[in-house]
C-alpha cells in the first residue's frame, strides 16, 4: 500500500512525524484492542480453565450456551432492562430538555439538579438506591403509601427487581438531558416561528419540526444508551453482591459473564458469552441505523 521509495522527502518526514505523534494510540490499539479482540474470539472456541492453556473445542461453548438456562435467563433479564430503560430515558430526556428549553426561570438551577446525578459515582448511587428501595424502611415505599399504594419488595422481589433497576437508571438521565438541550438550542427559531404564524399547534410544531431537527442526536443517544444497557453491570454487582439475586432475576449478561470468568474460572465459556453479547449489540445497532435511515433528518450537513 505504502511504498516508501515513491514518497518525497517531505512526505517521508511527515510520515515519521505523524507516526510519532500517534504512536501512543498505535501501541494501545495493537496491544489493548486488536490483540485482545482476536484473542477473545479464539478463546471462545476453546476449553480454557484459567490456570491451564486453551484447548480447541470448536463450537462446544456456543452449543453449551443454548442449553444453559442461566445464560438464557441473563439474556432475558438484559433485554428486559434495555427495552425498559432506553425508551424511558429517551422520552424523559427529551421531555425534560424541552421543558428547560422553553424559557424557564432558574434554568441553570434545574439543569444542575438534573445533571449532577449522572456524574455521581455509580457505587454510591447503587448503595443509596438500595436503601431507598428497602421494602420496610425505604423512602420509596414510604412515599407510595402517601398515595395509598402498598409498595412491592423491589430488590427483594423477583418480579420487581428489574423495574427497580429501570427506575433507578432514570436517575442518571441528566447527561442525555444536557445533550438534548444543546441540540434543541440549535434548532433555528425562524423555522418554529414560521410554523407558528402558519397556525401549527404546539404538538404539530414539536412533531414536525423539533423532533426531526434533533433526530440525529436522538439516534446517538439511543445507540449509546443501548450499548450501555447491554453492559449494565456495576449497579447490579454492588446491590446484589455480584449474585444477580433474588432468584437470578437481576442476573444480567455482564454479571453472568463476570461470574463465569472470575468465579468459575471458565475463560473459554466466558469469551463465548462476550461474543454473543457483542453480536447482539451489533445487530441492534445495525437495525437502529437501518430504521433511522428513513427517520433521521441530517439537514444540509
Partner 1 sequence: MVGADRVRPYHWATDALPTATHPKESVLSAPTEFVAVPRPATQQPTTSGVGVTHAVASLIKYLLLVFFAGFFILPWVWMVSTSLKNPDELAVYPIIWIADPIRWDNYLSALRQADFLTYFFNTILVTFPSVLGAVLSNALVAYGFARVRWPGRDLLFSLVLATLILPGFVTFIPLYIIFRNLNWLNSYLPLIVPTWLASPFFVFLLRQFFMSLPEELADAARVDGASELRIFSQIILPLSRPALAVVALFQFIGSWNDYFGPLIYLNDKALYTISLGIANMRASYGFSNFAWIMAATCMSVLPIVVLFFFAQRTFIEGIALTGLKG
Site for partner 1 in 45-84 (CB under 8 A): none
120 contributes a contact to partner 1 by CB under 8 A: yes
Q: Which residue has the cell 445533550?
A: 179
- Indicate which single residue of 136, 150, 198, 199 sits in contact with partner 1 (rule: CB under 8 A): 136
Q: Which of 25, 56, 29, 26 is nearest to 41 (CA)?
A: 56
Q: Tell me how far CA of residue 3 lies from CA of 10, 26, 181, in angstroms.
A: 14, 20, 49
Taking the C-alpha atoms of residue 162 and residue 36, their distance in angstroms, rounded to an integer, is: 32
Whether omega before 246 lies within 30 degrees of 0, making that bond cis, reads: yes
Rule CB under 8 A: choose which of 121, 148, 293, 300 binds partner 1. Answer: 121
Supply the minimum distance, in Å, between the C-beta of residue 157 and partner 1: 18
Interface of this chain with partner 1, residues 181 to 200, rule: CB under 8 A: 181-183, 185-190, 193, 196
Stretch that binds partner 1, among 22-30, 60-68, 72-80, 286-294 (CB under 8 A): 22-30
Q: Min. distance of Cβ 130 from partner 1 in angstroms?
A: 8
Given its phi and psi angles, is residue 55 left (phi above 0), alpha (psi -120 to 50 degrees) or beta? beta
| Per-residue binding letters, 267-296, with partner 1 (x by CB under 8 A) | x--xx--xx-xx--x---x-----------
Q: Specify whether the CB–CB gap between 121 and 238 falls below 8 A.
A: no
CB of 227 to partner 1, least distance (A): 6
Handedness of CA 63, 64, 67, 73 (dihedral sign): negative
Over the window 155 to 174, marking each residue x when it contacts partner 1 by CB under 8 A and - when it does not, the resulting string is: ---------------xx--x
Restricting to residues 218-237, name those near partner 1 by CB under 8 A. 219-221, 224, 227, 230-231, 233-234, 237
Cβ 32 to partner 1 shortest distance, Å: 6
Q: Name the helix (H) or strand (E) containing 46.
A: strand 46-47
Residues in contact with partner 1, counted by CB under 8 A, come to a total of 107
- Binding range to partner 1, per CB under 8 A, among 32-40, 70-78, 83-91, 156-164: 32-40
DSSP 170-211: GGGTHHHHHHHHHHHHTS-HHHHHHHHHTT--HHHHIIIIIH
For residue 58, report the phi and psi dihedrals to the nearest 5 degrees.
65, -135
Q: Could you say whether residue 150 binds partner 1 (CB under 8 A)? A: no
Cell match 409498595: residue? 151
Q: Is 14 in the site for partner 1 (CB under 8 A)?
A: yes
> Does residue number 265 form part of the binding site for partner 1 (CB under 8 A)?
no
Amino acid at each position: 500500500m505504502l511504498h516508501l521509495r515513491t514518497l518525497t522527502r517531505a512526505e517521508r518526514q511527515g510520515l515519521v512525524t505523524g507516526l510519532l505523534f500517534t504512536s501512543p494510540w498505535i501501541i494501545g490499539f495493537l496491544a489493548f484492542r486488536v490483540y485482545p479482540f482476536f484473542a477473545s474470539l479464539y478463546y471462545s472456541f476453546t476449553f480454557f480453565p484459567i490456570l491451564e492453556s486453551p484447548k480447541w473445542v470448536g463450537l462446544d461453548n456456543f452449543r453449551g450456551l443454548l442449553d444453559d438456562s442461566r445464560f438464557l435467563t441473563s439474556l432475558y433479564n438484559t433485554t428486559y432492562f434495555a427495552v425498559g430503560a432506553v425508551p424511558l430515558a429517551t422520552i424523559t430526556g427529551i421531555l425534560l430538555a424541552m421543558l428547560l428549553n422553553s424559557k424557564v426561570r432558574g434554568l441553570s438551577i434545574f439543569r444542575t439538579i438534573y445533571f449532577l446525578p449522572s456524574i455521581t459515582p455509580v457505587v454510591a448511587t447503587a448503595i443509596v438506591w438500595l436503601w431507598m428501595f428497602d421494602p420496610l424502611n425505604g423512602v420509596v415505599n414510604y412515599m407510595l403509601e402517601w398515595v395509598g399504594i402498598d409498595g412491592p419488595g423491589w430488590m427483594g422481589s423477583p418480579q420487581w427487581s428489574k423495574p427497580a433497576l429501570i427506575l433507578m437508571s432514570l436517575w442518571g438521565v441528566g447527561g442525555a438531558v444536557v445533550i438534548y438541550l444543546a441540540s434543541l438550542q440549535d434548532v433555528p427559531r425562524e423555522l418554529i416561528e414560521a410554523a407558528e404564524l402558519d397556525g401549527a399547534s404546539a404538538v404539530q410544531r414539536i412533531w414536525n419540526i423539533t423532533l426531526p431537527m434533533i433526530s440525529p442526536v436522538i439516534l446517538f443517544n439511543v445507540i449509546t444508551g443501548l450499548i450501555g444497557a447491554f453492559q449494565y453491570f456495576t449497579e447490579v454487582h454492588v446491590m446484589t453482591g455480584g449474585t444477580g439475586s433474588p432468584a437470578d432475576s437481576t442476573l444480567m449478561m455482564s454479571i453472568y459473564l463476570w461470574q463465569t470468568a472470575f468465579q468459575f474460572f471458565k475463560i473459554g465459556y466466558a469469551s463465548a458469552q462476550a461474543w454473543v453479547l457483542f453480536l447482539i449489540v451489533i445487530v441492534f445497532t445495525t437495525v437502529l441505523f437501518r430504521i433511522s435511515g428513513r427517520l433521521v433528518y441530517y439537514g444540509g450537513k
